[in-house]
Amino acid sequence: MSTPRPNPFYNRYNELAALERAYQLPGNGGGMVLIYGRRRLGKTYLLQRFLTTGSDGSNREKPHSYYLAEQTSAALQRTSLAEQLIQAIPSTGVHVEDIAGSWNALLRYVSAYGRTLEHGRGRFGLVLDEFPYLMERNPELPSVLQSWWDREGAHSRVFVVLCGSQLSTMASLGSESKPLYGRFNAGIHQLTPLSYHEVAMFYESSDYSLKEKLMLYGILGGTPRYHALVNPKNPFADEIMNLFLCPMATLENEVDYLLGSEQIRDPSTYNAILNMIAGGATQFNVIQQKVGLEKASLPFYLKTLTELGWITREVSFGDKTGKRALYKINDPFLFFWHRFITPLNSVRRFSDPRDLYNRRVAPNLDVYMGSYIFENICRQWLQSHCTKTLGIPLKNLQRYWSRDGKLEIDLVGELEDGSYLFGECKWSVNQPIGLSVYSDLKAKIAMLPEERWKNTDTSILFSVGGFTESLRQLVKESKERIILVDGAMLLSGKGRD
């Protein structure tokens, strides 16, 4: 059975190139790679594109067998894989029952074919997707793979990919205490959410405004599956209603699915924590009190959410103790859901979707973007473009807030030459920002507790709506380095010329 070629293909070109380099390992031996990442990030899509693209970039398929494991019995899993292998590997006189009896038989069938491939004819790819489903029914499988790999797989022209979405299970496969430790000679790769700029590429040919493209990142985050659901021919508001507010909305059960797919036993507690953080309860003690958990039990839940990439623990720049740490939701989709959709659960099914959008969502989107999302977008831009823009690599980038909460600076960066930069992020979509924002930033810098931080001549201001002519003139005349990044620069993917 031929693997379908995904089209269109967006934004995973670095990952695709990494797989291609791994596939073309020198020598006649085999390669084994581990790929994992939470659900909906496009792992299967990436693998299908890799398998259906020749090493020269053509549409020619690589010889392979792609097996998407199901939650069924061990015998049926082996039978399904055996059927696919016999279709993929030329053979005479070999029947499904001849190799479906054990994993050893299946793997030996693959490596025997790999040894027949001449150098330069590629490798035979064996992709085992949703690998944790196989481990549930075959706990011994990693040990069987390790034994087969050392004995045969590493010495034949095969390319084995283990892929899965259960983060802790997949990440542990490469750990020192596990049988497959040291066998992933072709790499271990964790897929992460797309950046805001990669998300914007989904909407390059749409009529959405710059503001709407950034808001789509703020609402759906960096999960490609969600953006693939958007019909860019429809108005922005209609698509948000279709995804979240209409009866039987496309994503109305998505949060429950995400929690369930991670095998979380007590989803109500995790949802409660996310609700509290989205509502502004960001300190440990406040979260603990509002959720009603014992103080000793909260760290477990926070650790799990952090490992999933759903929340992050933020420390103020220069804080060595971590006593001022705050928790924030790291995934914009979950942030939007718990900020806007959860409070509407009791009325959503009995209300007009457009009325809900117009009254409860649309009027608050600018505040949501400006208070919670835009700073993250600016941080991503600076991390990508600091070296090009300043000529100096970025060493560290955090937010700063004082102990009393009276002084906040959106971005404080330490550069590799020991200097510092300071930045302010203003959503400000309806009007340009002017000299007052720059003056306020300079005043904040003067109030910082560390004298060494104040010795800087680098400031950076972000504004979707651009900048006044007076501020641009100051940039031209000032001896200090002042960088202005408007909405067009954010979406262009380029730093300052």
Residue 466 in any domain: the answer is yes
Return the amino acid letter for 43: K
- Gap between the Cα atoms of 142 and 367, Å rounded: 49
Residue 195 in any domain: the answer is no
The dihedral over CA atoms of 40, 138, 47, 23, expressed in degrees to the nearest 10, equals: 140
Q: How far is CA 386 from CA 118, 228, 379, 424, in A?
A: 46, 31, 10, 15
Read off the tokens for 137. 């029914």
Low-confidence residues of the chain, pLDDT below 50?
A: 496-497
Domain boundary among 131, 157, 190: 190
Write out the E strands in 316-427: 326-329, 394-401, 408-415, 420-426
DSSP-based three-state secondary structure for 469: helix
CATH number of the domain encompassing residue 184: 3.40.50.300
Q: How far is CA 370 from CA 75, 130, 214, 310, 464, in A?
A: 54, 38, 11, 20, 10
Which residues, at least 6 apart from 117, have a Cβ–Cβ distance to it below 8 Å?
63, 123, 124, 157
Number of domains in the chain: 2
Domain boundary among 123, 156, 190: 190
Residue 34 sits in which domain range? 13-190
pLDDT, residue 496, reads 47
Residue 402 in any domain: the answer is yes
pLDDT, residue 47, reads 92
| Cβ count within 10 A of residue 17 | 11
- Gap between the Cα atoms of 341 and 318, Å rounded: 36
Residue 180 in any domain: the answer is yes
Sign of CA dihedral 251, 257, 261, 265: positive
Read off the tokens for 341. 């959709």
pLDDT, residue 237, reads 97
What is the model's pTM?
0.89
CATH number of the domain encompassing residue 419: 3.40.1350.10
Domain boundary among 190, 220, 241: 190
pLDDT, residue 306, reads 92
Read off the tokens for 80. 């399904």
Residue 442 in any domain: the answer is yes
Residue 347 in any domain: the answer is no
Residue 437 in any domain: the answer is yes
pLDDT, residue 442, reads 94
Write out the E strands in 116-172: 124-129, 158-164
pLDDT, residue 497, reads 38
Count CA within 13 A, CB hemisphere, residue 160. 26
Tell how strand 408-415 and strand 420-426 pair up: antiparallel
Residue 85 in any domain: the answer is yes
